[in-house]
């Protein structure tokens, strides 16, 4: 097959599988609002678009800023581009109105505002019966195909390299913001289109803030530093956390680190096709419990990763999702103790028949700088 026909059959099979889910949801059409879903189905990466999936064709509605980009990006996917003159919602609504019979159109309410829905209703009139269907495209996106896995391995490799580049720059006196800037500069130098989320650099007492924004605080001696960073490469995200100590760490900190690493390894070992997301989370939590640290682990063990940095599945308490081969998830237990600091270790792994395989490769051993 030529590269073009490979791309075409890839998008086709995504749309074909989507149509199957769509009919199970009791609809014939799907109007896709969420841009990452549109990108997954059509290849279009612009910031304004609506995708209408019908039984026999797929149409991308976008505006005149994207005329050339849209045609180029969807060229191999078999999607038709319509440049909407009077707004995307009106164009999509009017297209739905033209049908001879009343049609059932699915949409995902979390991605649609009340105002958007009103504009659609005004344009489509009562030719449409709306079906609220959640997560149809997201369910497909959770399982990566071979080409996606290759892209994700490169994004993860890139961020691992960035960490090793930044490591020698972590020293007393440099601010968190300055380190975050180094991280983001280094990823773009290596071909990333940008960070997959605002890079986290949190030092000293601020490392206990699980989701700290980098600040103008300078790194001090004898401090923990949590660095959580991710890059987007060819449309796919990576997400990796490492925690280092500036100076010689007290035994208490060293023991905390070893416990978090052990929890991460236990969670990775629990990953296999057929395992529940909750079981993976439980594996990490049980290790921390043994070290009397469970109450300091205040978030989920991980999350799916792909076109977006947070996708299905969530690896959290009580989550019944069953892991399948081809899913990519983060494994990121952490402990956060007020006054002491925080420690988190996060890797991206792919679920394979043989268990979890690491995509991020940066050193995991305790580093004292
Ligand atoms: Zn992260
Ligand atoms: Zn994460």
Which CATH number do you get for residue 306?
3.90.230.10
Find, among 58, 120, 52, 128, the residue nearest to 89 by Cα.
Answer: 120
Expressed in angstroms and rounded, the spacing between residue 134 Cα and the centre of ligand 2 is 23
* 333-360 per-position pLDDT tens digit: 999 999 899 999 999 999 999 999 999 9
How far apart are the CA of 290 and the centre of ligand 1, in A? 25
Is the pLDDT score of 2 beyond 60?
no
Give the CATH number for residue 34: 3.40.350.10
Q: Quick one: 45 exposed, middle or buried, by C-beta within 10 A (0-12, 13-18, 19+)?
A: middle
pLDDT of residue 364: 97
Do residues 108 and 180 both lie within one domain?
A: no
Mean pLDDT of 127-144: 95
Phi-psi region of 339 (alpha: psi -120 to 50; beta: other; left: phi over 0): left
Q: Does residue 127 or residue 170 have the better pLDDT?
A: 170
Q: Of the candidates 115, 140, 165, which is a domain's last residue?
A: 140
Is there a single domain that holds both residue 33 and residue 123?
A: yes
Which ligand does the CA of 200 lie closest to? 1
Q: Which domain holds residue 31?
A: 3-140
Domain co-membership, 95 together with 74: yes
pLDDT at 369: 95
Ligand 1 center to residue 138 CA distance, Å? 20
Neighbours of 307 (CB within 10 A): 22
241: tokens are: 């956390």
**What is d(CA 341, CA 253) in angstroms, rounded to the nearest whole number?**
9
For 247-300, the pLDDT digits (tens) are 999 999 999 999 999 999 999 999 999 999 999 999 999 999 999 999 999 999
**pLDDT band, residue 126 (cuts 50/70/90):** confident
Q: Are residues 40 and 82 in the same domain?
A: yes
Q: Are residues 242 and 274 in the same domain?
A: yes
CA nearest 137: which of 104, 110, 102? 110
Predicted pLDDT of residue 8: 60
* Residues 60 and 151 occupy one common structural domain: no
| Contact present, 337 and 208 (Cβ < 8 Å) | yes
Report residues near ion ligand 1: CB below 5 Å: 228, 239, 241, 346
The answer on 166 and 97 residing in a single domain is no
Domain count for the chain, please give it: 2
Both 94 and 193 in one domain: the answer is no
Going from the Cα of 346 to the center of ligand 1, the distance in angstroms, rounded, reads 6
Mean pLDDT throughout 234-242? Answer: 98
Give the end of a domain, one of 92, 124, 140.
Answer: 140
Q: Name, in order, each residue with C-beta under 8 angstroms of 329's C-beta and a sequence gap of 6 or more.
A: 271, 302, 303, 304, 305, 313, 315, 323, 348, 349, 351
Q: Are 337 and 299 spatial neighbours (Cβ–Cβ below 8 Å)?
A: no
Q: Are residues 197 and 337 in the same domain?
A: yes
Whether the ω angle into residue 227 lies within 30 degrees of 0, i.e. cis, is no
Nearest ligand to the C-alpha atom of residue 331: 2
Using DSSP's 3-state secondary structure scheme, residue 19 falls into: helix
The confidence score (pLDDT) of residue 6 equals: 56
* Alpha carbon of 210 to ligand 2 centroid (Å): 11
pLDDT digits (tens, 9 = 90+) for 141-182: 999 999 999 999 999 999 999 999 999 999 999 999 999 999
Assess whether 116 and 136 both reside in one domain: yes
Q: What is the pLDDT of residues 50-98, one digit of tens each?
A: 999 999 999 999 999 999 999 999 998 899 999 999 999 999 999 999 8
206/284 same-domain check: yes
The domain boundary residue, chosen from 117, 140, 163? 140
Q: Are residues 280 and 306 in the same domain?
A: yes
- Distance, CA of 245 to CA of 254 (rounded, Å): 9
CB-based contacts of 25, cutoff 8 Å, min separation 6: 106, 131, 133, 136
Q: CA torsion sign, 16 to 21 to 23 to 29?
A: negative
Q: Which residues of 207-229 are buried (b: 16+ CB within 10 A; e: fewer)?
A: bbbbebebeebbbeeebbbbbbb
The model's pTM:
0.93
């Amino acid at each position: 097959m030529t590269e073009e026909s490979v791309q075409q059959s890839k998008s086709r099979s995504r749309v074909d599988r989507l149509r199957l889910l769509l009919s199970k949801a009791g609809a014939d059409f799907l109007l896709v609002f969420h841009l990452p879903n549109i990108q997954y189905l059509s290849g279009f990466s612009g910031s304004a678009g609506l995708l209408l999936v019908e039984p026999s064709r797929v149409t991308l509605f976008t505006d005149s800023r994207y005329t050339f980009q849209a045609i180029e990006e969807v060229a191999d996917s078999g999607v038709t581009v319509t440049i909407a003159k009077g707004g995307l919602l009106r164009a999509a609504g009017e297209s739905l109105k033209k049908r001879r019979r009343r049609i059932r159109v699915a949409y995902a309410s979390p991605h649609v505002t009340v105002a958007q829905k009103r504009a659609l209703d005004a344009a489509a009139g009562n030719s449409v019966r709306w079906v609220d269907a959640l997560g149809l495209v997201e369910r497909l996106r959770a399982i990566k195909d071979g080409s996606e896995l290759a892209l994700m391995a490169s994004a993860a490799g890139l961020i691992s390299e960035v960490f090793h580049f930044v490591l020698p720059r972590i020293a007393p006196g440099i601010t968190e913001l300055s380190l975050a800037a180094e991280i983001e500069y280094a990823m773009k130098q290596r071909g990333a289109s940008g960070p997959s989320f605002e890079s986290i650099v949190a030092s000293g007492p601020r490392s206990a803030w699980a989701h700290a924004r980098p600040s103008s605080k300078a790194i001090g001696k004898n401090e923990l530093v949590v660095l959580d960073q991710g890059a987007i490469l060819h449309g796919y995200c990576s997400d990796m956390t490492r925690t280092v100590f500036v100076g010689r760490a007290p035994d208490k900190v060293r023991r905390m680190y070893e416990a978090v690493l052990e929890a991460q390894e236990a969670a990775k070992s629990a990953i296999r096709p057929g395992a529940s997301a909750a079981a993976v989370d439980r594996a990490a939590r049980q290790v921390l419990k043994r070290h009397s640290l469970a109450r300091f682990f205040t978030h989920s063990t991980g999350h799916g990763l792909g076109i977006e940095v947070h996708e299905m599945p969530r690896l959290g308490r009580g989550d019944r999702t069953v892991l399948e081969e081809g899913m990519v998830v983060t494994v990121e237990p952490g402990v956060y103790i007020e006054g002491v600091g925080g420690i988190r270790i996060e890797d991206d792994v792919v679920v394979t028949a043989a268990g979890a395989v690491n995509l991020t490769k940066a050193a995991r051993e305790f580093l004292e700088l």
